[in-house]
Amino acid sequence: MGQRGIGYLGGRAVKIGYPCINWSIGCKGDRTFRLRNYSEDRLISTVRNNLDCLLKMLRFNVTHDILFFRITSDLIPFASHSVCEFHWQGYFRKELEEIGGFIQGNRIRISMHPDQFVLINAEDNGIVERSIEELQYHAEVLDLMRLDETAKIQIHIGGVYKDKGKSMKRFIATYEGLDEVIARRLVIENDDTRYTAQDCLRLSADTGIPVLFDTFHHQLNGSGEGVPEILAPTSSTWRDTDGLPMVDYSTQNRNNRKGRHAESIDSEEFAEFLEATKPFDFDIMLEIKDKERSASKAIELASRDARFITASKAHA
DNA sequence: CCCTGTCAAGTCACG
DNA sequence: CGTGACTTGACAGGG
């Protein structure tokens, strides 16, 4: 717990990845459709495409030493919506198992990130119920892939309504009642306007929930702490069974308004980040527009870093 | 084929 | 109470 040793002795090592979309392999694994066009056929063909593409992306990633990946929430469109009565869990069981087998065989780290509308602490109970349904869907995907507890579902806390204290109380109350299949995978992430990393740590102290640190959100909505200062406490919220801490890394788009992600990774900034965070082991999710290109650049930069691991080493 | 309005869900500000 | 901003690509209907 807390600061971990450098290097991959003991089977731990830093992995780098990107979320959801790969621009270079010619397929899209997050295809969806409009609710009014919902049909079982449409769902099946879309999911089949998404699962095929997901496996292709994972194969691509392994050949490029990209061993961390965020699976899109659009994998099964409308999975948690009442319109969906189709038992996709059974229909796609084999495909999900196959993908899960590939993930485990190559020691790929997996995360999922439900959208902002997932609020387990909303004042409206209907929103809470729908949010839990959505989390259930995410957990089912990872369970059907037979991934262990290190595969995480990250959410923002939200649901402030001008009273963070009450918001936190509601979060704790709902969290404590969550089914274990969800709770074991759930982690909280600091966001860019409401919950700072310190807020997340406060909530973690009460619930034991791990804190996923987002560097960019911390820049926009932090309390002035440097990255290493905040990485120490957030890292120690991850138990051994949770796997290495996850960190979302991104930088400001220079041309655009505040809050916009950069188009491509800034090599110098990333090298500085690696240097500044030397005492810590964590898996890095690059939230950068050009996805796998920046991931490859980052891996190139990290390849001299003793914490980093390649696919062949992970395989051994 | 291209153009463009719209999209499951969320909050918040405003009139 | 209703509407638009937030933010984003892409779906999908109309021309």
- Protein contacts on strand C: list nucleotides below 7 Å from a Cβ: 6-13
Q: Which two tokens stand for residue A88?
A: 């996709």
Looking at the DSSP bridge assignments, the partners of residue A17 are A68, A285
Is A1 within the bounds of a domain?
no
pLDDT, residue A206, reads: 96
Range(s) of the domain holding residue A243: 16-314
CA of A54 to C1' of B12 (A): 36
Is A5 within the bounds of a domain?
no
Q: Which residue has the tokens 């995978």?
A: A185
CA of A34 to C1' of B4 (A): 16
Is A7 within the bounds of a domain?
no
pLDDT band (50, 70, 90) for residue A282: very high
pLDDT band (50, 70, 90) for residue A5: very low
pLDDT digits (tens, 9 = 90+) for A288-308: 989 999 999 999 999 888 787
CB A199, CB A210: distance < 8 Å: no
- Protein contacts on strand B: list nucleotides below 7 Å from a Cβ: 7-13
pLDDT, residue A182, reads: 97
CA of A287 to C1' of C8 (A): 14
Mean pLDDT of A164-176: 95
CA of A40 to C1' of B2 (A): 30
Q: Tell me, what CATH number does A191's domain have?
A: 3.20.20.150
Is A266 within the bounds of a domain?
yes
What is the residue-averaged pLDDT of chain A? 91
Is A8 within the bounds of a domain?
no
Mean pLDDT of A180-209: 95
Number of domains in chain A: 1
pLDDT band (50, 70, 90) for residue A255: low
Q: How many residues in chain A?
A: 316
Q: Burial code of A38-47, b = ≥16 C-beta within 10 A, e = fewer?
A: beeeebeebb
Query: Quick check: A84 pLDDT over 70?
Result: yes
**What's the pTM?**
0.94
Is A44 within the bounds of a domain?
yes
Is A183 within the bounds of a domain?
yes
Is A10 within the bounds of a domain?
no
